[in-house]
Amino acid sequence: MKPRVAVFKFASCDGCQLQFLNAGDELLKLAGQADIVYFPEARGRALAGPYDLAFVEGSVTTPADARRIIEVREESRYLVTIGACAAAGGIQALRNWADIEQYRRAVYPSPEFISTLSTSTPISEHVRVDFEIWGCPIDKTQLLAVTRSLLFGAQPVLPGHSVCIECKRSGNACVIVTRGEPCLGPVTRAGCGALCPAMNRGCYGCFGPADAHNMESFAALLADQGVRGDDAMRRLRGINGYVRPWRESADALAAKK
Amino acid sequence: MNEATRMPKAALDNLIAILGREGYRVMGPVARDGTVAFDEIRSAADLPVGIRDAQEAGRYRLAPGIDGEIFGVVNGAGSLKPHFFAPAEPLLEIRRERRGFKANEIASAAPPHAFIGVRACDLAALAIQDRIFLHDRFRDAHYELRRKDAFFVAVDCTRSAPTCFCVSMKTGPRATAGFDLALTELPGGFVARPGSPAGEAMIVKLGLSAAGGADEAAARALIDECARGMGRRMDTADLPRLLYDEAENPRWREVAARCLSCANCTMVCPTCFCHTVIDQTEIDGNMSRRVRKWDSCFSLEHAHIHGINLRPKIHDRYRQWLTHKLASWIDQFGSSGCVGCGRCITWCPAGIDLTEEVAAIRASAGKG
């Protein structure tokens, strides 16, 4: 029997699930290797668990989702999160520093119908996660590599090093050194292929913190570049802002001003 | 074979054309995105004529230099390294067969390259990489293929960047080995000298005649002046022992507080050769491609072995890098791993300067 694969969505924009659909021929080959039994974004058929491999996109922002993720975990042999929302809480984690009641009243005409949590939290704060694929959105090649490894029953391996290594492998000019451009590359996990620096822009940190990083030195570098206070804080408090090293660094910057 | 000849600046186009006709892909320093890197050139006009570089720790800018000066830019982040030790290279293709599997080596294929404007430090670095990739019977076929037919036109440095210290490492500023042809740029032309039979033949093809004593003296004077004005220096006396003895010097932790562990220093270093090998498997599981990629001793996974990480802290990794580069490299390969090009200083976003670190460790030796 082919392994049963499921793709679940929580609070997210669907961009990471779309990487399956963007895989084109590779997706068809995957369908030959595995039975994709639950993937509402792609097909109407939705079968109950158990699942051999569950991909989870999005963060937990509602009481219902906080219960649902536990059910997903119970039904799944391997649970792999896809994307910044699932791994770090996503851009919607900005609510974690704000007043959710104020948001609810400002956004919705009938706020009484909105049942929401005051926080957006990563999946790993709720259940055990077997592997996290980072990125906003995730990289298709990484997604397929992790899927292949797990179908073989092998430990998936993705690089945890800085974007700088990818940048230099590609022969990009360093935007920090040549132009004094603020760039999160030195503290960000590789995986995007150094997309922004290749376009002469600083890295936005879409893949979250590199596994080896020095946030204190990086904050000092931003200050040296003339990026101060709120601006430095906002650069860290973005897509992956709620992940611990960046959260702590941004909070320290906010406290300092 | 060291007879100096006089080469008009216009003859550089002729040199490029001849190399092109002989089947070389001709490469030279090309300005792009605020720095220079070796890239394909069709004529001298593709070179950064009239431009100079301004370098400091953590900072690099190109700026207008001297009209008509062809080799005014000392260097950029890109050395010769990526052109011989490729940043990413497929090594094997492994296919599932009815029984078992079959592995095929992937051969590199590229026309021979000719490099124009190579500095003495980078030639010294290439000689160091040769000792790594072409050592005895352990020869890397990919590296060797690109290496064996390459042609090098060196340029002696007549100015140094503030980050340069080739004099300390005894690799420059004058090219002494590893080139086919070496040029010294004077305001009115080049003094050219051959470094190999191929270089001698090229001088004949270019129809160059002997340089006058005055040109030779002028070239010497410019190189000597460059050597005297070297931006940085490093005292290499007793270096392996100093770094081994100072393994617990508090300076390692001080520099680690600034080090981002981003690996830029090792990426731009023309001798750093660490790499990782990864398998990229097709989703149907029938084919896997084994790829070698540049890696760094600053990445956490590089020191990860079964169950533990040998260098979990940044100070472990910085010490590993510097001690290998300047000390254990000598035990391992018979020479320092540093050629004094200064790239690790310029391209460190945090501006960490290894010459400063070595000096600080020397100054505080034995007090820890």
The residue among A152, A178, A205 that closes a domain is: A152
Contacts 24+ apart (CB under 8 A), A35-41: A35/A1, A35/A2, A35/A3, A35/A4, A35/A5, A36/A5, A36/A6, A36/A7, A37/A4, A37/A5, A37/A6, A38/A5, A38/A6, A38/A7, A38/A8, A39/A5, A39/A6, A39/A7, A40/A7, A40/A9, A41/A7, A41/A9, A41/A14, A41/A17
Residue B44 and residue B11: Cα distance in Å, rounded? Answer: 9
- Local confidence band at B136 (pLDDT 50, 70, 90 cut-offs): confident
CB contact (8 A) between residue A165 and residue B35: no
For residue A157, being part of any structural domain is answered with: no
Q: Is the minimum CB–CB distance between A182 and chain B shorter than 8 Å? A: no
Selecting from A173, A179, A186 the residue whose C-beta is nearest the C-beta of B77 gives A173
Alpha-carbon distances of A87 from A22, A52, A193, B147, rounded to whole Å: 21, 20, 20, 45
Q: Which amino acid is at A34?
A: A
* CB spacing of B264 vs A174 below 8 angstroms: yes
Comparing CA positions, the residue from A138, A130, A122 lying closest to residue A241 is: A122
Residue A256 has a pLDDT of: 81
Q: Do B259 and A145 touch (CB under 8 A)?
A: no
Say yes or no: A171 and A148 in one domain: no
Residue B166: pLDDT over 60: yes
Whole-number Å distance between alpha carbons of B171 and B166: 5
Residue B330 has phi, psi (to 5 degrees) of -65, -45
Which candidate from A147, A177, A213 shows the least CB-CB separation from B283? A147
Counting beta carbons within 10 angstroms of the beta carbon of residue A50, is it exposed (0 to 12), middle (13 to 18) or buried (19 or more)?
Answer: exposed
- Which chain A residues contact residue B318 at CB under 8 A? none
Same domain, yes or no: A212 and A115: no
Q: How many C-beta neighbours within 10 Å does residue A242 have?
A: 29
Which residue in B333, B325, B256 sits closest to B296, CA to CA? B325
The pLDDT, as a whole number, for residue A56 is: 98
Tokens of A43: 């097909």
Question: B59 contacts in A (CB within 8 Å)?
Answer: 177, 180
CB < 8 Å to B284, chain A? 29, 32-33
How far is the alpha carbon of A123 from chain B, nearest alpha carbon, in Å?
A: 24
C-alpha–C-alpha distance, residues B269 and A202, integer Å: 23
The rounded percent of chain A whose pLDDT value lies above 90 is: 96
Residues A25, A97: one domain? yes
Q: Does A2 touch chain B (CB under 8 A)?
A: no
- pLDDT above 70 (res B167): yes
pLDDT band at B368 (very low <50, low <70, confident <90, very high): low
Separation CA B7–CA B209 (nearest Å): 8
**Chain A residue with minimal CA distance to B32?**
A173
In terms of domains, do A113 and A51 share one?
yes
- Cα–Cα distance, B167 to B123 (Å, whole number): 14
The 10 Å Cβ neighbour count of residue A111 is 13
Segments of chain A scoring below 50 in pLDDT: none
Helix or strand run (H / E) with residue B31: strand B25-32
Give the residue on A whose Cα is nearest the Cα of B278: A157
- Maximal C-alpha separation, chain B: 74
Q: Which residues of B touch A149 (CB under 8 A)?
A: 281
Contact A148 B314 (CB under 8 A): no
Do A148 and A190 belong together in one domain?
A: no
Angle among Cα A116, A120, A126 to the nearest 5 degrees reads 100
Task: Report whether pLDDT(B142) > 80.
Answer: yes
Domain containing A234 equals 163-256
Residue A90 gets the label, from left (phi > 0), alpha (psi -120 to 50) or beta, of left
A177 and A107, same domain (yes or no): no
Q: CA–CA distance from A245 to each of A218, A250, A252, B15 (Å)?
A: 11, 9, 11, 55
* pLDDT > 80? residue B2: no
Q: How far, in Å, CA of A132 to CA of A144, rounded?
A: 13
Interface residue A186 vs chain B (CB under 8 A): yes
Question: How far is residue B21's CA from residue B68's CA, in Å, rounded to a whole number?
Answer: 26
**For B296, which residue in chain A has the nearest alpha carbon?**
A165
* Placement of tokens 């996974």 in the chain: B301
A132 shares a domain with A12 = yes
The answer to whether the beta carbons of residues A61 and A116 sit under 8 Å apart is yes
A151 in contact with chain B, both atoms CB, cutoff 8 A: yes
- Asked whether A188 and A148 are in contact (CB, 8 A), the reply is no
Residue A33 lies in a domain: yes
Does residue A54 sit in the same domain as residue A118? yes
The rounded distance, in Å, linking the Cα atoms of B196 and B198 is 5
Which residue in chain B is spatially nearest to A188 when comparing CA positions? B262
Helix (DSSP H) and strand (DSSP E) numbers for chain A: 12, 5
Share of chain B above pLDDT 90, in %: 95
For A12-26, A222-236, B58-72, B240-254, which range has the lowest pLDDT when averaged over its residues? A222-236
Q: Which residues in chain B touch residue A53, judged by CB atoms under 8 angstroms apart?
A: none
Res. B1 pLDDT band, cuts 50 70 90: very low
Residue A8 and residue A101 in one domain: yes
A198 touches chain B (CB under 8 A): no
Residue B315: pLDDT over 50: yes
Asked if A15 is an interface residue toward chain B (Cβ–Cβ < 8 A), one would say no
Rounded distance between C-alpha atoms, residue B316 and residue B252, angstroms: 8
pLDDT at site B366 = 87
Which pair of tokens denotes residue B133? 């990739």
What mean pLDDT is reported for chain B? Answer: 96
Domain boundaries, chain B: 5-228, 239-363
Same domain? A73 vs A99 = yes
- What local confidence, expressed as pLDDT, does residue B208 receive? 96
Q: Would the pLDDT of B14 be above 50?
A: yes
Is the CB of B259 less than 8 angstroms away from the CB of A217?
yes
Nearest to A119 by CA among A56, A58, A60: A60
Q: What is the pLDDT of residue B137?
A: 84
* A51 and A146 belong to one structural domain: yes
Q: Looking at beta carbons, which residues of chain B come within 8 Å of A173?
A: 32-35, 37, 76-77
Number of compact structural domains in chain A: 2
CB B284 to CB A29 under 8 A? Answer: yes
Distance from the Cα of B161 to chain A's closest Cα (Å) equals 15
Whether pLDDT at B302 is above 50? yes
Please answer whether residues B223 and B38 qualify as being in contact, where contact means their C-beta atoms are separated by less than 8 angstroms: no
Element (H, E) at A188: none
* CB contact residues (below 8 A), chain A span 84-113, against chain B: none
Residue with tokens 């945890």: A160
| CB-based contact B280 A180, cutoff 8 Å | no
Q: Please provide the DSSP assignment of A83-133 as one string.
A: SHHHHH--GGGGGGGS-HHHHHHHH-SSGGG----S--B-GGGTS--SEEE
B196-233: b or e for each residue (b if 16 or more CB lie within 10 Å)?
A: eeebbebbeebebeebeeebbebbeebbeebeeebbbe
Asked if residues A114 and A78 have their Cβ atoms less than 8 Å apart, the reply is no
Instruction: Quote the minimal CA–CA distance from A169 to chain B in Å.
Output: 5
Q: How far is CA B326 from the centre of its chain?
A: 16
Min distance A194 CA to chain B CA atoms (Å): 13
Residues B147 and B130 sit within 8 Å (Cβ to Cβ): yes
- Asked if A14 reaches chain B (Cβ–Cβ under 8 Å), the answer is no
Phi then psi for residue B178, to 5 deg, are 85, 10
Its ipTM equals 0.95
Contact yes or no for B263 and A172 at CB 8 A? no
CB B362 within 8 A of CB B233: no
Residues A139 and A27 in one domain: yes
A173/B contact by beta carbon, under 8 A: yes
**In the predicted model, is pLDDT for residue B240 greater than 50?**
yes
Residue-wise pLDDT for B171-225, tens only, equals: 999 999 999 999 999 999 999 999 999 999 999 999 999 998 999 999 999 999 9
Q: Is residue A158 part of a domain?
A: no
